[in-house]
Amino acid sequence: MTPVVFYKCLSEDTRLKCLLLITLKSELCVCDLISALKLSQPKVSRHLAELRKCGILSDHRRGKWVFYQLNQTLPKWALEVLRLTTKENPSYLNDCLNNLDTAKLTDNCC
């Protein structure tokens, strides 16, 4: 993976938030990201597909649910960028994390 490909994939707000949430939580289901981001399933799925195409995410199915995690072949420098961005910018994800926590308490999607 080249830096240009990596940073282009991160250049959209929804994709970046998906990646940082997955970095923070290790793995998330589509329904988790829908709740966290307050976006429609098609929109979230489209962005996740783009991140898979870039080679940043991998997915696996458990029953009818698809879970996403960081691709294990991601270069160390890319992992470090994601970890540092997540750690150093907590306010960027506050609303998403609150939405996710609320959804986990009230929904049982996956």
Which residue segments constitute the domains of the chain, with CATH numbers given?
A: 3-105 (1.10.10.10)
- Phi, psi values for residue 106, rounded to 5°: -105, -30
Average pLDDT, integer, range 68-91: 96
Going 13 to 29 to 71 to 55, the CA torsion angle's sign is negative
- When pLDDT is cut at 50, 70 and 90, the band that residue 103 belongs to is confident
Closest CA to 25 of 80, 88, 70, 73: 70
Take residue 51 and report the two structure tokens written for it.
């991140």
Structure confidence by residue, pLDDT tens digits, 23-40: 999 999 999 999 999 999
Prediction pTM value: 0.92
Q: Per DSSP, what are the bridge partners of residue 110?
A: none
Q: What is the DSSP letter of 55?
A: T
